[in-house]
Amino acid sequence: MSEQTEQTQSGVVIVGAGMAGVQTAVALREQGWRRPITLLGAEPHQPYDRPPLSKAVLLGKAEDSAFDVDFEGLGIVLRLGVEVTGLRAAERELDTEAGPVPYEFLVLATGAEPLTLPGSEGVPGVHLLRTLDDAARLRPVLARTPATVVVGAGWIGAEFATAAREAGCAVTVVEAADRVLAGALPAEVAAPMAHWYEQAGAALLTGAQVASVEAGRVLLADGRELPAGAVVVGIGARPATRWLAGSGVGLGPEGAVAADEYLRTGLPGVYAVGDCASFPSARYGARLLVHHWDNALQGPRVVAANIVAGKALQVYDPVPYFWSEQFGRFVQYAGHHAGADELVWRGDPAEAGWSVCWLRAGALAAVLAVGRPRDLAQGRKLIETGAPVDPAKIADPAVPLKSALV
């Protein structure tokens, strides 16, 4: 056995060099882990942050979004362009194209992969936007300002449509559901957001099924034909866990690794964090799968603490948080509104700034803030405490949320 293999075997191996993987490696060092750490990344690029891909990188305002981390100085072995193909728990080894990689502790941080539009694979002019290479391919396309069709009116679709309009493209957004953000927000909350498309000069077609995609055009099921110099598919993502089939790692119905409250899997020494993992939330009484940046930032600190501490384990039960920049608006969300029994508006959605609060059993469960960052910050703290609030005060946008306690 080589010296490198011996060192790897006595330490932590992290699969995935995105936000969750990088933050796990950094947190391990910050929390006192002195033994080897190996970070495996499937892409050849220096690890990078994803949110700027649909903004600064796509529009040519930045070349990349590499993390400012001194991996060598931290003693983190970075192995890029290494795709992991399997896990053999009995041997505590990973299978990779470059050969087996042994581990003592293993952290699964493989993130999520975008869903593809059936029948569009390999069609010229069809793009996904998940990786740095995706953004690099799309940037010169947008610079030519072609007629662009965006498939999907979720968060990613809205962000890409925003960038395409900023680049000067004619944009049509096609959504199979009858409204925008159908999988994320109730109809009454999402309704005001549909108007943002028109205000930005983007056409929005809801209840529109894509029948086929051909070079230069998109055909809808109702017979309409849309010219398309570029087609961008943003219909969601699934955890990148197919390589774990047969490994003994438990996967939920969404394909996510079913981690416990300590972010452990059912295999000895194996943890899961970020977009690829779901976790049970005592706060919300549900298992959560959170595909957002903040989850990939917060979860690694708990994983690192539990690896370092051994028996004194920390529970991971955050208030989920995310943000989206679209059509000149800063949208923030904290909490989990499923199971809420009351919805309270703060402000007029026709105005520049407004919020929506969800209450459950008299306490704040979630808040959506459009252009009202103070509502988000104060609401998040209220959710964390679980303290009872006064709905009448919540409904008054002039009353700070922190003053809504009963």
Topology (CATH) of 3-113+238-309 = FAD/NAD(P)-binding domain (3.50.50)
Of 3.10.20.740, 3.50.50.60, 3.30.450.20, 3.40.50.920, the CATH number of 116-235 is: 3.50.50.60
* 367 and 360 Cβ atoms separated by less than 8 Å: no
Q: How far apart are CA 206 and CA 179, in angstroms?
A: 6
* 211 and 127 Cβ atoms separated by less than 8 Å: no
Any idea where the domains of the chain sit in the sequence? 3-113+238-309, 116-235, 328-403
Alpha carbon of residue 247 to chain centroid: 25
Each residue's pLDDT, cut to its tens digit, for the chain (406 residues) gives 333 444 444 599 999 999 999 999 999 999 999 999 999 999 999 999 988 888 788 888 887 889 999 999 999 999 999 999 999 999 999 999 999 999 999 999 999 999 999 989 899 999 999 999 999 999 999 999 999 999 999 999 999 999 999 999 999 999 999 999 998 999 999 999 999 999 999 999 999 999 999 999 999 999 999 999 999 999 999 999 999 999 999 999 899 999 999 999 999 999 999 999 999 999 999 999 999 999 999 999 999 999 998 777 999 999 999 999 999 999 999 999 999 999 999 999 999 999 999 999 999 999 999 999 999 999 999 999 999 999 999 999 999 999 999 9
Q: How far apart are CA 189 and CA 340, in angstroms?
A: 14
CA neighbor of 274 nearest in space, from 294, 250, 254, 260: 294
Instruction: Give every CB contact of residue 344 below 8 A, 6+ residues apart in sequence.
Output: 356, 357, 358, 359, 391, 394, 395
Q: pTM, whole model, 2 decimals?
A: 0.94
Please determine whether the domains at 3-113+238-309 and 116-235 fall in the same fold group of CATH.
Answer: yes
Of 3.30.365.10, 3.30.390.30, 3.40.50.300, 3.40.640.10, the CATH number of 328-403 is: 3.30.390.30
